[in-house]
């Protein structure tokens, strides 16, 4: 089914108007002017592996060559440059973690590293059985597919029945590498690096048929095949979501078998043939053999002396640049496919990376360093660092007719913002469980962009590399426990954290991207230093599989005046499939009650209830909160999710969570969605060392004056 481009463009604008008004559970949107049914936007999310901010021409390579002259080694990314010219650059966009497994978990769950179940270096750990980007979009009527690298399946589970198989986490279709380590090899059958690996289509190992198949080509061809199936099958009227996760350019720097096939789209470029032994149209010739012509005979000025002869690039860098260029060609191929199908105006394409560049080549006798291309861009730090170079991502978004051309978004954002962004584009409210905010206002350049909550925590032994490009004070810095928090233009970062009293280094990363000038040395930053320390404690819940030196530190109370007893309540009507972020919705009614309860003096029961205010904690200590509800709910104290009574909650059975709190006032948000056809009922209790489990007394609740 081919849909008229003008019709789609009108549909995209109309759909967004409905979304901004808080449309709930809409499976289709009807344009009242022409009475035609219009699709929600398709979404393609392209995630690369260890691709640095500095690897793309439009972000850094072109500027680097301009500043340093022709002798500088340069990577070329013409298709990504064109994508940026036709869409939006997000130069202030961050990964949720500086290494792949936790970064991908945060992305898919829409939650920061203060809340995800996969943290630090927990490769192959099962992704939490909870709301995911895919499961929510599937409920919104999207066909969903994951193609490429997964690595979140369940470490000790046996193939093919992994606990967190993509098919168990919201995806209708999967083709790719399941295990993290498999993604280090780019020829799954021949296994040039540590033997053969396994590629699965859903739950079937198809590796025996993948002769001479380079993984970047496999994933691209499979993605094109799946998109074509969606558009040419009986479900062409349904929108689709594709999570396309490349395992390149990182790990073993193998080369493709041949040049990228000419053309692109439906008839050209990469194609899935489906023939065993020749599953894709580049499965011929010699494996690990083809180098892009722009790099095969490239020379560079190795000693910064124009009087001496230039030297050929070392082979390892020719390989890296070829791998990056292959991804660039794939992006051009996919965009051409959307144009051929006449769905480009109704498809959002996002391109980004999972973390900063690595220094791993996995090639015997060939040492690789990201300094050659300055893959870390204008920053210090690489993969596994919480300096900007380890976290700042080369991010581009394209949606013709909706995202303005040549649009640069300077507001900071982070990868777990994409979940609420996509859900709003699907016409539904984001879950209250997500730590992200929708980027729709900044993408469309319309309305006010909510501030992103940018918080990263990570542990890694070792040190920041001692590269000459990095500042002396950053070289060989011990990593260990690390944190990063960004507020506005300012970043707080801590390395080798021993306890919560350790100070943050503070940088204005807009004026000072390399983080040269540590503002923490200024006496007038003491208040901001205190704010950073408080904010980090208020943004997370401890996890016993990834312990931190600040896990048992009590969260400081809020300093508020002008309060009185009671809580603000709001009620909502709607068919809610999950506990939504109700602050983005329009309430049916609102008022003040003594404490969180559903008996609030209104004439009928509503579908969802929201309570907001402060809980007064009598003394420092560990507090356990209990939520019992006829339905599902969520409790946040500050920004920490203390109770998630959502996906796996059994109605009317108590769900609990614990948190260390200082005496005083602590802001809370309580969300509740009643069972369908049930009577609303909710009870919030607490216990502590000196408090036996009880309903929280009414005189412990406060609200700000109207």
pLDDT tens per residue, range 369-398: 999 999 999 999 999 999 999 999 999 999
For the chain, give the number of residues.
Answer: 706
- Mean of pLDDT values over 169-190: 97
Tell me: pLDDT of 358 over 90. yes
Residue-level pLDDT at 648: 64
Residue-level pLDDT at 497: 98
- Look at phi and psi of residue 188 and say left if phi exceeds 0, alpha if psi is from -120 to 50, else beta: alpha
The H-or-E segment that residue 321 falls in is helix 315-340
**Residues 87 and 407: beta-carbon distance below 8 Å:** yes
Residue-level pLDDT at 9: 33
- Mean of pLDDT values over 422-450: 96
Residue-level pLDDT at 304: 84
Could you tell me the pLDDT band of residue 651, with boundaries at 50, 70 and 90?
low
Q: 37-41, 171-175, 339-343, 547-551: which has the minimum mean pLDDT?
A: 37-41
Q: pLDDT above 90 covers what percent of the chain?
A: 85
pLDDT tens per residue, range 292-314: 999 999 999 888 888 899 999 99
**Residues 418 and 350: beta-carbon distance below 8 Å:** yes
Residue-level pLDDT at 13: 33
Could you tell me the pLDDT band of residue 636, with boundaries at 50, 70 and 90?
very high
The closest alpha carbon to 292, from 321, 317, 329, 316, belongs to: 321
Tell me: pLDDT of 32 over 60. no
Q: Class assignment of domain 563-704?
A: alpha beta
Q: pLDDT above 70 covers what percent of the chain?
A: 94
Residue-level pLDDT at 31: 28
Tell me: pLDDT of 644 over 80. yes
The closest alpha carbon to 45, from 147, 181, 129, belongs to: 147
pLDDT tens per residue, range 499-556: 999 999 999 999 999 999 999 999 999 999 999 999 999 999 999 999 999 999 999 9
Q: Return mean pLDDT, the chain.
A: 92
Tell me: pLDDT of 15 over 90. no
**CA distance linking residue 76 with residue 328, whole number of Å:** 9
Distances (CA, A) of 9 to 4, 131, 431, 691: 9, 30, 28, 59
Query: From the CB of residue 519, how many other CB atoms can be counted at a distance below 10 Å?
Result: 18
The closest alpha carbon to 436, from 132, 42, 705, belongs to: 132
pLDDT tens per residue, range 330-356: 999 999 999 999 999 999 999 999 999
- Mean of pLDDT values over 347-368: 92
- Mean of pLDDT values over 554-565: 91
Could you tell me the pLDDT band of residue 678, with boundaries at 50, 70 and 90?
confident
Could you tell me the pLDDT band of residue 70, with boundaries at 50, 70 and 90?
low
Residues facing 563 on adjacent strands: 704
The closest alpha carbon to 46, from 499, 350, 423, belongs to: 350
SS3 annotation, 185-227: CCCCCCCCCCCCCCEEECCEECHHHCCCCCHHHHHHHHHHHHH
Q: Does domain 456-537 have CATH number 3.30.1120?
A: yes
Distances (CA, A) of 479 to 428, 503, 625: 40, 15, 35
Tell me: pLDDT of 244 over 70. yes
Tell me: pLDDT of 6 over 60. no
The closest alpha carbon to 655, from 633, 679, 676, belongs to: 633
Tell me: pLDDT of 59 over 90. yes
The closest alpha carbon to 92, from 393, 357, 380, 383, belongs to: 393
Q: Does domain 39-452 have CATH number 3.40.50.150?
A: no
- Mean of pLDDT values over 614-637: 96
**CA distance linking residue 247 with residue 146, whole number of Å:** 13
| One fold for 39-452 and 456-537 | no
Could you tell me the pLDDT band of residue 571, with boundaries at 50, 70 and 90?
very high
Segments making up each domain of the chain, as ranges = 39-452, 456-537, 563-704
Residue-level pLDDT at 673: 96
Tell me: pLDDT of 566 over 50. yes
**Residues 561 and 647: beta-carbon distance below 8 Å:** no
- Mean of pLDDT values over 654-661: 95
Residue-level pLDDT at 706: 55
**DSSP secondary structure letters along 635-689:** EEETTEEEEEESTTPPTTS-EEEEEEE-SEEEEEEEEEEEPTTSPP-EEEEEEET
- Mean of pLDDT values over 589-604: 93
Residue-level pLDDT at 193: 83
Tell me: pLDDT of 82 over 70. yes
Q: Which letter, b or e, does each residue of 203-215 get, where b requires 16 or more Cβ atoms within 10 Å of its Cβ?
A: eeebbebbbbbbb
pLDDT tens per residue, range 90-140: 999 999 999 999 999 999 999 999 999 999 999 999 999 999 999 999 999
**CA distance linking residue 186 with residue 259, whole number of Å:** 16
């Amino acid at each position: 089914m081919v849909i008229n481009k003008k019709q789609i463009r009108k549909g995209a604008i109309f759909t967004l108007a409905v979304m901004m008004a808080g449309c709930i559970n809409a499976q289709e949107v009807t344009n009242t002017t022409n009475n035609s049914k219009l699709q929600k936007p398709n979404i393609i999310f392209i995630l690369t592996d260890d691709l640095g901010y500095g690897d793309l021409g439009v972000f850094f390579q072109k500027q680097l060559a301009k500043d340093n002259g022709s002798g500088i080694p340069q990577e070329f990314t013409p298709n990504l440059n064109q994508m940026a010219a036709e869409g939006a650059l997000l130069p202030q966009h961050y990964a949720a973690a500086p290494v792949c497994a936790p970064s991908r978990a945060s992305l898919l769950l829409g939650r920061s590293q203060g809340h995800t179940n996969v943290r630090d270096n927990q490769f192959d750990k099962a992704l939490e059985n909870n709301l995911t980007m895919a499961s929510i979009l599937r409920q919104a009527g999207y066909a969903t597919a994951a193609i490429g690298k997964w690595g979140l399946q369940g470490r000790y589970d046996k193939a093919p029945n992994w606990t967190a198989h993509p098919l168990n986490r919201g995806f209708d279709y999967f083709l790719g590498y399941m295990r993290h380590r498999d993604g280090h090899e780019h020829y799954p059958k021949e296994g040039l690096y540590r033997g053969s690996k396994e590629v699965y289509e859903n739950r079937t190992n198809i590796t025996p048929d993948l002769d001479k198949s380079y993984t970047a080509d496999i994933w691209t061809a499979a993605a094109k095949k799946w998109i074509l199936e969606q558009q040419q099958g009986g479900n062409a009227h349904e929108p689709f979501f594709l999570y396309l996760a490349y395992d390149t350019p990182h790990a073993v720097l193998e080369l493709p078998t041949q040049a990228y096939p000419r053309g692109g789209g439906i008839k050209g470029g990469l194609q899935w043939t489906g023939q065993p032994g020749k599953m894709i149209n580049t499965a011929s010739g010699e494996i690990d053999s083809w180098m892009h012509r722009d790099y095969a005979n490239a020379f560079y000025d190795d000693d910064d002396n124009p009087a001496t002869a230039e030297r050929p690039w070392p082979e390892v860098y020719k390989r890296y640049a070829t791998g990056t260029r292959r991804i660039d060609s794939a992006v051009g191929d996919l965009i051409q496919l959307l144009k051929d199908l006449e769905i480009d105006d109704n498809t959002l394409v996002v391109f980004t990376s999972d973390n900063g560049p690595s220094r791993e080549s996995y090639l015997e006798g060939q040492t690789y360093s990201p300094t050659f291309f300055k893959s870390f861009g204008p920053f210090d730090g690489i993969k596994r660092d919480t300096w900007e170079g380890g976290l700042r991502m080369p991010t581009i978004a394209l949606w013709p007719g909706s995202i303005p051309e040549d649009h640069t978004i300077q507001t900071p954002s982070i990868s777990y913002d994409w979940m609420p962004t996509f859900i709003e584009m699907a016409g539904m409210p984001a879950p209250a469980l997500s730590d992200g905010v929708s980027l729709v206002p900044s993408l469309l350049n319309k309305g006010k962009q909510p501030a992103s909550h940018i918080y990263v925590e990570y542990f890694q032994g070792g040190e920041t590399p001692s590269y000459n490009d990095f500042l002396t004070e950053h070289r060989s810095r011990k990593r260990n426990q690390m944190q990063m928090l960004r507020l506005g233009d300012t970043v707080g970062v801590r390395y080798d954290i021993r306890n919560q009293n350790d100070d943050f280094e503070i940088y204005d990363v807009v004026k000072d991207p390399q983080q040269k000038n540590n503002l923490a040395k200024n006496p007038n930053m003491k208040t901001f230093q205190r704010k950073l320390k408080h904010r980090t404690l208020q943004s997370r819940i401890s996890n016993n599989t990834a312990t931190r030196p600040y896990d048992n530190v009590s969260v400081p109370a809020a300093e508020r005046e002008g309060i009185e007893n009671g809580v603000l309540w709001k009620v909502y009507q709607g068919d809610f499939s999950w506990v939504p972020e109700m602050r983005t919705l329009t309430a049916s009614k609102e008022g003040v009650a003594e404490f969180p309860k559903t008996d609030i003096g209104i004439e009928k029961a509503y579908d969802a209830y929201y309570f907001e205010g402060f809980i007064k904690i009598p003394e420092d200590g560990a507090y356990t909160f209990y939520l019992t509800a006829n339905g599902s709910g969520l409790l946040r104290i500050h920004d920490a999710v203390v109770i998630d009574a959502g996906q796996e909650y059994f109605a009317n059975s108590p769900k609990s969570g614990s948190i260390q709190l200082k005496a005083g006032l602590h802001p809370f948000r309580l969300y509740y969605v009643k069972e369908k056809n049930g009577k609303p009922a909710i009870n919030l209790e607490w216990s502590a060392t000196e408090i036996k489990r009880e309903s929280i007394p009414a005189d412990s609740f406060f609200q700000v004056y109207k």
